[in-house]
Amino acid sequence: MGASASRYREVYEAASADPEAFWLEAAKAIDWTTAPSRAFDPEAGIYGRWFPDAVGNTCHNALDRHVAAGRGDQTAIIYDSPVTGTTRRIAYGEMLDEVRLLAGLLTELGVGKGDRVLIYMPMIPEALVAMLASARIGAVHSVVFGGFAARELAARIEDAEPKIVLAASCGIEASRIVPYKPLLDGAIEQSRHKPSACLVLQRPQAKADLVAGRDRDWAEAVTEARTRGVAADCVPVAATDPLYILYTSGTTGRPKGVVRDSGGHMVALAWSLPNLYGIRPGEVFWTASDIGWVVGHSYIVYAPLICGATTVLFEGKPVGTPDAGTFWRVCEEHGVVTLFTAPTALRAIRKEDPEGALVAKRDLSKFRALFLAGERADPDTVAWAERVFGVPVIDHWWQTETGWPIAGNPVGLGLLPVKHGSPTVPMPGYRLEVLDEGGKPVAPGTMGTIAIRLPLPPANLPTLWRDDVRFRDSYLTTFPGYYTTSDAGFIDEDGYVFVMGRTDDVINVAGHRLSTGSMEEVLASHPAVAECAVIGVKDALKGEVPAGFVVLKAGQDGAGSEVEADLVRHVRDKIGPVAAFKLAIAVGRLPKTRSGKILRGTMKKIADGDEWAMPATIEDAAVLDEIAASLKTRGLPE
Ligand code: COA
Ligand code: AMP
Q: Rounded to two decimals, what is the model's pTM?
A: 0.95
- For residue 416, list its beta bridge partners: none
Predicted local distance difference test score (pLDDT) of residue 632: 79
Question: Is the Cβ atom of 513 under 6 angstroms away from ligand 2?
Answer: yes
List the residue whose alpha carbon is closest to atom 15 of ligand 2: 374
Q: What is the DSSP letter of 463?
A: S
Region of poorest pLDDT, from 40-54, 57-71, 224-238, 544-558: 544-558
Q: How far apart are CA 41 and CA 50, in angstroms?
A: 6
pLDDT in tens, 597-616: 999 999 999 999 898 888 88
Nearest protein CA to atom 3 of ligand 1, as residue: 147
Q: Work out whether strand 215-217 and strand 336-341 pair parallel, antiparallel, or are unpaired.
A: unpaired
Distance (Å, whole) CA 498 – CA 490: 5
pLDDT of residue 84: 97
CA 584 / ligand 2 centre spacing (Å): 26
- For residue 179, how many other CB atoms are within 10 A of its CB? 18
Q: What is the distance between the alpha carbons of residues 258 and 255, in angstroms, rounded to a whole number?
A: 9
Q: Could you say which DSSP state residue 412 is in?
A: G
Whose CA is closest to 145, among 314, 291, 354? 291
Give the 3-state secondary structure of 107-158. Answer: HHCCCCCCCEEEEECCCCHHHHHHHHHHHHCCCEEEECCCCCCHHHHHHHHH
Topology (CATH level 3) of domain 510-633: GMP Synthetase; Chain A, domain 3 (3.30.300)
pLDDT at 634 over 90: no
How far apart (Å, rounded) are the C-alpha atoms in residues 43 and 36? 16
For residue 322, whether the previous peptide bond is cis, meaning omega lies within 30 degrees of 0, is yes
Q: How far is CA 465 from CA 58, 193, 248, 388, 610, in A?
A: 20, 16, 12, 43, 39
In one-letter notation, the amino acid at residue 510 is A
Residues of the chain with CATH 3.30.300.30: 510-633
Question: Tell me, what's the pLDDT at 556?
Answer: 74
Give the pocket of ligand 1 (CB within 6 Å).
145-147, 171, 173, 178, 288-290, 293, 295, 317-319, 341-342, 344-345, 348, 373-374, 509-512, 542, 577-578, 580
Burial classification of residue 94, based on how many CB atoms lie within 10 Å of its CB (0-12 exposed, 13-18 middle, 19 or more buried): middle
Supply the residue whose CA is at minimum distance from atom 38 of ligand 1. 345
pLDDT at 629 over 90: no
pLDDT digits (tens, 9 = 90+) for 357-408: 999 999 999 999 999 999 999 999 999 999 999 999 999 999 999 999 999 9
Instruction: Dump pLDDT digits (tens) for 61-106.
Output: 999 999 999 999 999 999 999 999 999 999 999 999 999 999 999 9
Residue 298: CB within 6 Å of ligand 2? no
For a pocket test of ligand 2, which of 290, 395, 398 has the largest count of ligand atoms closer than 8 A to its C-beta? 398
Mutate to test the pocket of ligand 2, among 300, 406, 486, 513 (most ligand atoms within 8 A of CB): 513
| Ligand 2 site-directed mutation target among 297, 487, 509, most atoms within 8 Å of CB | 487
CA torsion, ordered 437, 440, 443, 447, to nearest 10 deg: 20
Tell which one of 346, 394, 397, 402 to mutate to probe ligand 2, the residue whose CB is within 8 A of the most ligand atoms.
397
CA 219 – CA 216 distance, rounded (Å): 9
Compute the half-sphere exposure of residue 65: CA atoms within 13 Å on the CB side of its CA.
Answer: 17
Helix (H, G, I), strand (E, B) or coil at 534: strand
Establish whether residue 349 lines the binding site of ligand 2, counting it when its CB lies within 6 angstroms of any ligand atom. Answer: no
For residues 113-144, one letter each, b for 16 or more C-beta atoms within 10 angstroms of the residue's C-beta and e for the rest, the string is eebbbbbbbbbbbbbbbbbbbbbbbbbbbbbb
Task: Give dist(CA 32, CA 57) in Å, integer.
Answer: 7
* Overall average pLDDT of the 20-45 stretch: 98
Q: What's the angle, vertex CA 265, arms to CA 36 and CA 340, rounded to 5? A: 145
Per-residue DSSP letter, 485: E
260: three-class secondary structure by DSSP: strand
Does the beta carbon of 74 lie inside 6 Å of ligand 2? no
Instruction: Give ranges for CATH 3.40.50.12780 in the chain.
Output: 3-316+396-489
Topology of the domain comprising 3-316+396-489:
Rossmann fold (3.40.50)
Position in ligand 1 atom list of the atom nearest CA 510: 37
Instruction: Work out the average pLDDT over 580-590.
Output: 93
Exposed e or buried b per residue across 564-577, where buried means at least 16 C-beta atoms within 10 angstroms of its C-beta: beebbebbbebbbb
Supply the mean pLDDT for the chain. Answer: 95
Dist. CA 535–CA 601, nearest whole Å: 8
In angstroms, rounded to a whole number, what is the distance separating the alpha carbons of residues 412 and 554? 62
